[in-house]
Amino acid sequence: MSELKLINMRDVEAENIRFLWKPYIAYGKISIIQGDPGDGKTTMMLAIAAAVTRGESVTESGENTASAPSDVIFQTAEDGLADTIKPRLEQLGADCSRVHIIDEDDKTLSLADERIEAAIVRTSAALFCLDPLQGYLGSADMNGTGGVRPLMKNLAGIAERTGCAIVLIGHLNKNGGSKSVYRGLGSIDIPAAARSVLTVGRLVDVDENMRAFIQTKSNLAPAGKPQAFGLNPADGFCWLGDCDVTIKELLDGKKEEKGMSQLDLAKAFITGLLAHGDVRSDEVFAKGEAAGFPEATMKRAKSDLKLTSVKRGNVWFWTAQPHQGYQETQQFQKGTGGENMRCRHA
């Protein structure tokens, strides 16, 4: 029998949880991003990685950021580095000198590989991402607890020892109903080891280019609000902010029938607000929030109504009237001062 060792809680030093993006991704813990192919999981994760390399908050309203520009390890088994990953990182404004990949030419990587911890330590990476999880389980049976549980325990140990945020990207299966934790491919031990699970999907009946995620598991803090993002070939990636969506709607790919949609209600609300003239942008959002409309819904309604923004002095206004020389800010920028590749809406 092995020697008995006990840990007394009196000797354990309490620590605060540190978040890369609160409450969605924590340092020193495993998080999972799951969704169907083509729903934008990888691009969303690359946008998060790009923000880390710049030392910026993930979103403009985010309360969390790396204390300084930090390194990232982005391991992918599906996408080409030269024709897919690097062009996307460049479009998202990443500092590519801070993005690393473990070379798998001589040996394929798996969750049991010692190179994972060695690479995190060597680069002092703040974020380590595997895409997709199913490509890095080695010979382990992903549907059996015997093979998966020790792999996830080993990975959790690496995250805790290094303080690195580890994010696993995974596909969903076709079964499991609306309970998304059971729709991730493989053993239930995979999401069980994660402290946060984000489920990504699209609402094709709202906007074919709009995606969203819901935090379907959150062990470290109260679950965050669902977040929306735009994803289309013409404009690229864009955070849209809080959105109103349920996990059933996200997994079904369509909004439930509830009479007039929230988007239609928001459009009617904005039309009434502008009926007597232009309104300050901050006032539009404040009144919209008070009326129960998420920021993403307000922005989508603005786009559908073909409204524009005009700047007078240092103040932006929403207007239903065309103005010569107006500066429309619904675009993707590649500037400086923290404005890198964000879809900005006045």
Q: What is the mean pLDDT of residues 297-306?
A: 88
| Cα(163)–Cα(83) distance, integer angstroms | 31
Q: What's the whole-model pTM score?
A: 0.74
Distance separating alpha carbons of residues 113 and 111, to the nearest angstrom = 6
Tokens coding 106: 């001589």
User: Who has greater pLDDT, 333 or 320?
Assistant: 320
Average pLDDT, the chain: 83
> Nearest Cα to 345, choosing from 305, 321, 316?
316
DSSP state letters, 22-56: TTTEETTSEEEEEE-TTSSHHHHHHHHHHHHHHT-
- Kindly indicate the confidence band of residue 78, based on its pLDDT and cuts at 50, 70 and 90: confident
Q: How far apart are CA 21 and CA 33, in angstroms?
A: 13
Q: Tell me the chain's radius of gyration from C-alpha atoms.
A: 22
Residue 124 has pLDDT above 90, yes or no: yes
CA 314 to chain centre: 31
Residue 325 has pLDDT above 70, yes or no: no
- Which residue would you say has higher pLDDT here, 328 or 285? 285
What residue ranges define each of the domains in the chain, with the CATH number in brackets?
A: 16-252 (3.40.50.300), 262-344 (1.10.10.10)
Average pLDDT over residues 226-244: 84
Which long-range CB contacts under 8 A does 57-62 form with residues at least 24 apart? Answer: 57/21, 58/20, 58/21, 58/239, 59/21, 59/227, 59/239, 59/241, 60/239, 60/342, 60/344, 61/241, 62/21, 62/22
Predicted local confidence at residue 338, as pLDDT: 33
pLDDT at residue 324 is higher than 50: no
Give the residue among 137, 142, 117, 139 at the shortest CA–CA distance from 128.
117
